Amino acid sequence: MAGFFYNLGRLVGPKVRKAEWVLRSLTGSEAEAIVAEQAVGRDLARAFVEQLGHDPDPVVREHLDYLAAKLTAAQSDRRWGFRFLAVRAPEVNAFALPGGFVFVTRHLLEVCGWDHAELAFVLGHEMGHIVKRHAIERLMANTLFSGVVARLPVGGAVLRPHVAALLNTLLRQGYSREQELEADAFGARAARAAGFDPAGARRVLVRLAAESAAEPLLSGYFASHPPLDVRLRHLEPLTGH
């Protein structure tokens, strides 16, 4: 997916309102910050889907709609307006964009055996990256950089490749260990609140870790996550195991 992120930087580089996003996120009210993040997410999500294409399979859509409805209904904060979409990509992965956009690949659904409890944790984990502001923070450095060069011809032949490369690096960069564990806790609580078996969190982590050694497409999902034993230990109070 590295190629996609490079192209995404080129697609949105001269179009996005980077300086405005940062200003509103840093100085605006909480409601204004969420609106700004949703603007970020819409632009990036549009480019993301245009590049990869959504998965049109009605079975995939049915499962995802069910999980999305349960997870969002259980959230006390309704301001995010989460949107869930399956995309065509070879990886086994799920990922979040600022403002409430959660993406999942069909391969992840299949590896999880379409188990709703396991998938609820995975999707809840990505929701956590959004609610806890991890997704927007990962873009902040790029946004601030772009704000500095906003008065220069960013779309020109000289600077544009450098901006795209920076965006590529930041989007590929993993979250911190603390952010991943915070998202794990959010995902476990979200799944439980939505009525799913909390043990699904442990099951899916153990399953994916066991299969990652033999399945190259799983390597990307674990590339930036803390070790399995750390994640399981952190989840013990929330999953009962």
Q: Out of 37, 118, 126, 180, which one is annotated catalytic?
A: 126
Dist CA 175 CA 193 (whole Å): 25
pLDDT of residue 88: 84
Confidence bin at 26 (pLDDT 50/70/90): low
Q: Which domain holds residue 149?
A: 2-239
Q: In what order do the strands lie in the sheet with 94-97?
A: 83-87, 101-105, 94-97
183, 175 Cβ separation under 8 angstroms: yes
What is the model's pTM? 0.79
Domain count, the chain: 1
43-47, 61-65, 123-127, 147-151, range with the lowest pLDDT: 147-151
pLDDT of residue 241: 57
pLDDT of residue 9: 45
Strands 101-105 and 83-87: parallel
Percent of the chain with pLDDT over 70: 67
Confidence bin at 7 (pLDDT 50/70/90): very low
pLDDT (tens digit, 9 = 90+) per residue, 171-219? Answer: 566 788 888 999 999 999 999 999 999 899 999 888 887 776 666 555 5
pLDDT (tens digit, 9 = 90+) per residue, 126-168? Answer: 999 999 988 877 766 555 444 544 443 333 333 334 434 444 5
Examine the pLDDT at 68 and tell me if it is beyond 90. Answer: yes
pLDDT of residue 226: 75
Query: Is 126 considered catalytic here?
Result: yes
Dist CA 160 CA 165 (whole Å): 9
Dist CA 147 CA 98 (whole Å): 18
Q: Comparing C-alpha atoms, which of 44, 51, 19, 49 is closest to residue 151?
A: 19
Examine the pLDDT at 35 and tell me if it is beyond 50. Answer: yes
* Cα-trace Rg, the chain: 18
DSSP codes, 170-237: HHHSPPPHHHHHHHHHHHHHHHHHTT--THHHHHHHHHHHHHHTT-GGGHHHHTTSPPHHHHHHHHHH
